[in-house]
Amino acid sequence: MEKRMPRAIALDTHLAFLVLAVLFCAMGSFLAIEFLSRMHRARSSAKMNWLFVSAIMLGASIWASHVFAIKWLAGPLSSFNPSGEAIPLLAALGLVTAGFGLVVWKPQALAEAGGLLVAVGIVTTKSLVLVAGSAFVRFPLGFDNTAVSWLGTAALCVAALSMAVRTARWYTHAVSTFLLVAAIGYACFGIEAADFPSSTAAATNIGAFQTVLIIMSAVLGTALVAYNIENQSRREAIESLKNLSVIDSLTGLSNREALKAHILTLTRVTDPSTEMFSVLAFNLNRFRIINDVHGSEAGDFLLKTVAGRITAALGPNEAVFRVGGDEFYVVKAAIHRRADASTFATKLLDILAEPILWSATKLDISASIGISLFPSGSAKADDLMMQADLAMCRAKLKNVNEVVFFDAAVDRVKRDMNALAIDLRKAIDNEEFELHYQPQHSAQDRRLVGFEALVRWNHPMRGMVSPADFIPLAEKTGMITEIGAWVIREAALAAATWPESLKVAVNVSAIQIAGDDFPDIVLDAILRANIEPGRLELEITESGIIGDFRHAMAILNRLKGLGCTIAMDDFGTGYSSMATFKRFPFDKIKIDRAFIQDLATNIDSQAIVNATLALGKTLAIKVLAEGVEEESQLDILNDAGCNEVQGYFFGKPMPMAQVDLYLKASKDLIRDAADTGSNVVVLRKTV
């Protein structure tokens, strides 16, 4: 065995070899980490291609950087034996391929095992390069430099691959690259000049190193080109998606189809183990009212401004879509925590809360945002959009300016209700509402005096949904404002087609009164229909005024100022205080049907009916009894001095077409009565 003497390493020679070693090592590591993270996001068919490209590149880089590093370390002592180098090169390629194979096979479970295998590849390659150069190969003898270098290489490799696979930010990839470079470099730790046989010094063949340099440049150059082509086509795909999707000519935003395509793309490129993306849904509270009151130009301006403001605030990986009237979705990709999505949502709410100036009018809007996250159960675009929508409905139930995440457990329970709430939002646009009208008659002469408008929802799947089921939901979600405005408009238009003596009564919810612009909506309806304001009666319940009494009184006074009449609905069921009547001059009291149904038998009901009639007489307010189903009830009420009645005895709420027949019949009956000289019109269950 050759005698080894400690000799100084010839640092002064061929610094270029060190530069080349570091260069190959860095380039190979950078590309390998990039490819690795892409590889494990790729669909299975593309995975194999990435695996081979990245393994060949890293394997070759490990081998070449050791060839050059050792040449640098040993200086003229090292030699290069081209035929012997095939073995370390093959070992490098084989072991790195196996390591990457493990990572690709099960990225989550086996990333670190893959890292360990790559470390074995590095150490083996280094040792075989030494063998090929006829140098002495050390194995760890206890805890010596060689052991430290092996362990260090293993630890660095495991950390590098683990980070590459489990994180997705550019700086974590930079750290992974650095760790991999360190792992390759660290393998050379402990090599001494003494390990190289001095006898081979003369055999140094610079030409062979040049060949390695050329081949490696070709390998890395090709890989770099592949990397750029991949990046370019990714950018182009995203760009073409954007171009394809700019369809909304009003705002210039992408539409629903584009949103779906965008989400689909994200589900493919997002690595669920390391990153998430979020879908945020919101619509603009009060948009429809602004549209109705200030005109569609104001509405368009509002949408354009909102779209512009959001677009201006978007950063990389963020995109906004307008999918319908005032419905928007914003997608934020490449996030790592739920908090990233909620912080972003809060930022959007702030943007939306800024008032918008429309020809000297301040338009106030607000929103509530629902968020769904990927990964979480479903990877379908439709599901993620639906989940964000469900969360938004829950956000609206809570408050305006609320941010709510989709929660499968909570939302499953509420799904039915929320699904109904989602449908409710579309019901106006889809013209699923209609009004039915229930006749109101004078108790004394049974003359027709008007109709109460009662809203009906013809749901495309569920059929007729009772207002008792959806009005509370509409109130909770705030949608009652829009629905109520539609009801008033529609009822006024219907009344315009009736004889002028007939009134139309419309139910008004407390939520509608709570808004400032309710009188504007009423005025708008009256002007559009061109009816006498006195023909429009607004029915409110006590709940409509007990919340913010002063505000309610101000609104009711403005309504009376327009000339409308106000009726107190469902009287007897609430708190019913005399003070309310003293402080506000109602035009009518409607006794709840609960007291009419058992009027003949229940003395409590009789007491309440009589007290109400007495109150009406004292304060000079008309009293109408609801739920009159039998003639006997009508007679009792008439005898007691009740002014008006309404109920199945005269007619159930009926669609507009039937109202026309009803009107015709009552006209004929009135004429008949006049012809016979009778001054009492006997009108029965006409239709």
- Return the number of the residue (165 or 289) whose C-beta is nearest ligand C2E: 289
190 or 478: CB nearest ligand C2E: 478
Quickly tell me which residue has 């090929």 as its tokens: 132
Tokens of 224: 């770099």
φ and ψ at residue 226, rounded to 5 degrees:
-60, -40
In the complex, what is the shortest distance from the CB of residue 559 to ligand C2E, in angstroms, rounded to a whole number? 15
Neighbours of 50 (CB within 10 A): 21
Calpha distance 490→494 (Å, rounded):
6
Nearer to ligand C2E, 157 or 474 (CB): 474
Contacting range for ligand C2E; rule: CB under 6 A; set: 90-98, 158-166, 462-470, 614-622: 462-470
SS3 of 619-662: HCCEEEECCCCCHHHHHHHHHHCCCEEECCCCCCCECHHHHHHH
Q: What residues from 61 to 80 belong to the interface with Ca ion (CB under 5 A)?
A: none
* Closest residue to ligand C2E in the complex (CB): 647
Q: How far is the CB of 315 from ligand C2E (least distance, A)?
A: 43
Name the segment binding ligand C2E (CB under 6 A); options: 224-232, 505-513, 515-523, 602-610. 505-513
- 647's contact among ligand C2E, Ca ion, none, with CB below 5 to 8 A by partner kind, is ligand C2E
Residue 507 binds to Ca ion (criterion: CB under 5 A): yes
The tokens for 444 are 């004394």
Write the binding mask 584 to 603 for ligand C2E: x where contact by CB under 6 A, - elsewhere.
---------x----------
Q: Which stretch binds Ca ion (CB under 5 A): 377-385, 531-539, 638-646, 663-671?
A: 531-539
Q: Does 136 bind ligand C2E (CB under 6 A)?
A: no
507 belongs to the binding site for ligand C2E (CB under 6 A) = yes
List 509, 565, 633, 666, residue binding ligand C2E (CB under 6 A)? 509
Q: Which does 487 bind (CB under 5 to 8 A by kind): Ca ion, ligand C2E, none?
A: ligand C2E
Cα gap 296→425, rounded to integer Å? 19
Tell me the closest approach of the beta carbon of residue 626 to Ca ion, in angstroms: 5
Please report whether residue 471 would count as binding ligand C2E according to CB under 6 A.
Answer: yes
Q: Is 65 in the site for ligand C2E (CB under 6 A)?
A: no
Of 504, 500, 478, 479, the closest CA to residue 489 belongs to 504
Q: Which partner, Ca ion, ligand C2E, none, binds residue 127 by CB below 5 to 8 Å per kind?
A: none
**Residue 479: C-alpha distances to residues 111, 470, 473 (Å):** 51, 10, 8
Would strands 503-508 and 536-540 be described as parallel, antiparallel, or unpaired?
Answer: parallel
In the shown chain, the binding pattern of residues 547 to 586 toward Ca ion, with x for contact by CB under 5 A and - for none, equals ----------------------xx----------------
Question: Residue 377 region, left (φ>0) first, then alpha (ψ -120 to 50), else beta?
Answer: left
As a whole number of angstroms, the distance between CA 74 and CA 10 comes to 7
Residue 467 within binding range of ligand C2E, rule CB under 6 A: yes
Q: Among residue numbers 559 through 588, which ones bind ligand C2E (CB under 6 A)?
A: 569-570
From the list ligand C2E, Ca ion, none, partner contacted by residue 334 (C-beta under 5 to 8 A by kind):
none
DSSP 8-state symbol, 677? T
The minimum distance between CB 476 and ligand C2E, in angstroms, equals 13
Q: Which of 112, 432, 520, 629 binds ligand C2E (CB under 6 A)?
A: 629
15: closest CA among 68, 80, 62?
A: 68
Report, in Å, the least distance between residue 172 CB and ligand C2E: 55
Of 397 and 637, nearer to Ca ion (C-beta) is 637
Site string for ligand C2E, 642-671 (x = CB under 6 A): -----xx----x------------------
Nearest residue to 325 (alpha-carbon basis) of 342, 306, 311: 306
For the bound state, the minimum distance from the C-beta of residue 590 to ligand C2E, rounded and expressed in Å, comes to: 7
DSSP codes of every residue in 245-312 = HB--TTT--B-HHHHHHHHHHHHHHS-TTT-EEEEEEEE-BTHHHHHHHH-HHHHHHHHHHHHHHHHH
Query: Could you say which of Ca ion, ligand C2E, none residue 466 binds, taking C-beta under 5 to 8 angstroms by partner kind?
Result: ligand C2E
Q: Which of 111, 253, 487, 645 binds ligand C2E (CB under 6 A)?
A: 487
CA distance 509 to 472: 9
Q: Does 521 bind ligand C2E (CB under 6 A)?
A: no
Choose one: 204-212, 384-392, 443-451, 504-512; the region binding ligand C2E (CB under 6 A). 504-512
Provide, rounded to whole angstroms, the least separation between the CB of residue 568 and Ca ion. Answer: 10
How near is the Cβ of 360 to ligand C2E at its closest, in Å? 33
Pair of tokens at residue 625? 């009894």
Of 264 and 594, the one with the shorter C-beta distance to Ca ion is: 594
Residue 438 binding ligand C2E, by CB under 6 A:
yes
Cis peptide before 472 (omega within 30 of 0): no
Contact region with ligand C2E (CB under 6 A), list: 211-219, 226-234, 321-329, 507-515:
507-515
- Choose the contact partner of 603 out of Ca ion, ligand C2E, none; CB within 5 to 8 A by kind: none
Nearer to ligand C2E, 376 or 509 (CB): 509
Window 357-416: residues binding Ca ion (CB under 5 A): none
Interface size with ligand C2E, residues (CB under 6 A): 20
Min dist CB 488 to ligand C2E, Å, is 8
Q: At what angle do helices 15-39 and 206-245 cross, to 10 degrees?
A: 30
- Per residue in 66-97, is it b (16+ CB within 10 Å) or e — as a string? bbbbbbbbbbebbbbeeeebeebbebbbebbb
Closest distance to ligand C2E from the beta carbon of 647 (Å)? 3
| Binds ligand C2E (CB under 6 A): choice among 5, 8, 202, 468 | 468
Question: Measured between alpha carbons, how far is 310 from 351 in angstroms, rounded to an integer?
Answer: 7
Q: Which runs of E-coded beta strand occur in 356-502?
A: 356-358, 361-363, 369-374, 403-405, 433-442, 448-459, 463-465
Of 177 and 438, which CB lies nearer to ligand C2E in the complex structure?
438
Number of residues that bind Ca ion (CB under 5 A): 4
Give the DSSP letter string of 528-550.
Answer: HHT--GGGEEEEE-THHHHSSHH
- The least CB distance from residue 453 to Ca ion, in Å, is 9
Asked if 662 and 654 touch (Cβ cutoff 8 Å), the reply is yes
In terms of Cα–Cα distance, which of 509, 584, 498 is closest to 536? 498
Binding of residue 519 to ligand C2E (CB under 6 A): no
Identity (one letter) of the amino acid at 131?
V
44, interface contact from ligand C2E, Ca ion, none, CB < 5-8 Å by kind: none
Looking at the chain, the number of H-run helices and the number of E-run strands are 24, 16
Look up residue 319 and give its DSSP letter.
Answer: E
Handedness of CA 174, 178, 181, 187 (dihedral sign): negative
**Phi, psi dihedrals of residue 6, rounded to the nearest 5°:** -65, 130
Residue 425 beta carbon to Ca ion: minimum distance, rounded to whole angstroms? 24
Q: Which is nearer to Ca ion, 301 or 595 (CB)?
A: 595
What would the two tokens of residue 340 be?
A: 């990233």
- Summarize as ranges the residues that interact with ligand C2E (CB under 6 A): 438, 454-455, 466-468, 471, 484, 487, 507-509, 569-570, 593, 627, 629, 647-648, 653
Q: Which residues bind Ca ion (CB under 5 A)?
A: 507, 539, 569-570
